[in-house]
């Protein structure tokens, strides 16, 4: 299955916010056969273009390519690396992780922690990020030759397949969204659609939705759909604050989304028997959808969320069927419009 293979490659690769350039080759390998053009813009967004039959209208589908990570800020006299965060890493899960330090070469390391025999078993408080140290096995002189302040650090984690179609790994926020766009484009490969389709894999979402701001400004789409992840339900969480794995993507409703797009996505899901959920988002969503909506003179925007458990950890968990359902819903949206339908659809 090509989509799963792509997800595995992306999940296990490094692409921290601002340092996503290493992913272009993998993305090109999979997306180029399905598109008319693929390029990177000045900020590093990957723009994948599939031309419509009439080109009277533009739709932009976006998912962010970047992941959260760490950056070396100091090498101490003992050779340990001090780090700071890029994006919102949950510092509770960092102790005892295996990491990759992307220095002059890649170096494996571990984030160590004092054993309970020494600390007296005090587990009440999580360790702060500034108190964590990465051990790469070298003393100061050797560490300084191989690692520099400013080097990127990522968690070392393979994508694993759990039971019941579930996958767990790092950076599924939002590479699951990226793969849903691959699934959509695969569905559109031999389909003639009227409007031009721009698929944008945005950069620097985790540090301020920057890629979506610049790419939307450049493309000027008539409508835009962002795909991100939403908080997957676990037993201790309230149903109204979460969305459930295996029940399809969540269609967002609220101030960040155009009411006709919300209704249109629901209608298409019903028409093609695609499972879906509703996600209430009364204000800014903090996703690329927000940046898309307020670009230039404003863009009619929608948001689909793939259910994901354990967000911003190294064991983010999804159901791959939710990814496929998201892609199918998007492909049906692209083929739904001709230029006249699009103009009427976006009227309040």
Residues sharing a CB contact under 8 Å with residue 242, sequence separation 6 or more, in sequence order = 230, 231, 232, 233, 234, 307
Catalytic residues: 205
Residues sharing a CB contact under 8 Å with residue 57, sequence separation 6 or more, in sequence order = 194, 195, 196, 222, 337, 338, 339, 342, 343
- Per-residue tokens: 157: 């984690």
φ and ψ at residue 218, rounded to 5 degrees: -75, -40
Residues sharing a CB contact under 8 Å with residue 318, sequence separation 6 or more, in sequence order = 166, 167, 172, 176, 229, 232, 245, 306, 307, 308, 309
The three-class DSSP label of residue 141 is helix
Q: Which CA distances in Å does 202 have to 43, 64, 163, 247, 346?
A: 9, 4, 31, 26, 24
Q: What contacts 24+ positions apart, CB below 8 Å, involve 122-130?
A: 126/91, 126/92, 127/91, 127/94, 127/95, 128/91, 129/83, 129/84, 129/85, 129/89, 129/91, 129/94, 130/82, 130/84
Q: From CA 152, how far away is CA 236, in angstroms rounded?
A: 34
DSSP conformation class of 89: -
Task: Report the interhelical angle of 172-187 vs 320-336 (nearest 10°).
Answer: 50
* Cβ-contact 73, 82 below 8 angstroms: yes
Q: Nearest to residue 63, comparing CAs of 99, 15, 101, 95?
A: 15
């Amino acid at each position: 299955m090509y989509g799963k293979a792509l997800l595995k490659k992306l999940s296990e690769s490094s692409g921290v916010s601002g340092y996503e350039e290493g992913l272009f080759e993998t993305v090109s390998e999979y997306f180029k056969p399905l598109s008319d053009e693929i390029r990177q813009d000045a900020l590093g967004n990957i723009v994948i273009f599939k031309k419509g039959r009439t080109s009277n209208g533009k739709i932009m589908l976006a998912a962010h390519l970047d992941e959260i990570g760490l950056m070396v800020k100091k090498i101490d006299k003992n050779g340990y690396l001090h780090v700071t965060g890029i994006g919102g890493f949950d510092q509770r899960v960092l102790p005892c992780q295996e990491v990759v330090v992307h220095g002059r070469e890649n170096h494996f390391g571990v984030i160590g922690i004092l054993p309970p025999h020494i600390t007296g078993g005090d587990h009440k408080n999580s360790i702060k990020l500034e108190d964590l140290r990465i051990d790469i096995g070298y003393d100061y002189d050797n560490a300084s030759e191989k690692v520099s302040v400013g080097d990127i650090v990522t968690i070392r984690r393979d994508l694993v397949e759990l039971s019941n179609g579930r996958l767990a790994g790092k950076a599924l926020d939002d590479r699951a969204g990226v793969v849903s766009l691959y699934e959509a484009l695969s569905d559109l490969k031999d389909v003639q659609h009227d409007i031009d389709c721009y698929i944008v894999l945005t950069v620097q979402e985790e540090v301020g939705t920057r890629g979506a701001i610049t790419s939307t400004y450049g493309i000027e789409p008539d409508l835009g759909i962002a795909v991100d992840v939403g908080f997957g339900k676990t037993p201790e969480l309230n149903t109204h604050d979460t969305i459930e794995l295996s029940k399809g993507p969540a269609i967002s409703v609220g101030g960040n989304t155009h009411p006709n797009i919300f209704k249109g996505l629901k209608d298409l899901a019903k028409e093609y028997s695609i499972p879906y959920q509703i996600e209430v988002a009364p204000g800014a969503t903090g996703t690329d959808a927000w940046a898309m909506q307020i670009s230039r003179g404003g863009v009619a925007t929608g948001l689909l969320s793939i259910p994901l458990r354990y967000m911003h950890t190294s064991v983010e968990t999804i159901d791959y069927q939710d990814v496929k359902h998201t892609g199918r819903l998007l492909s049906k949206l692209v083929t739904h419009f001709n230029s006249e339908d699009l103009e009427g659809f976006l009227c309040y």
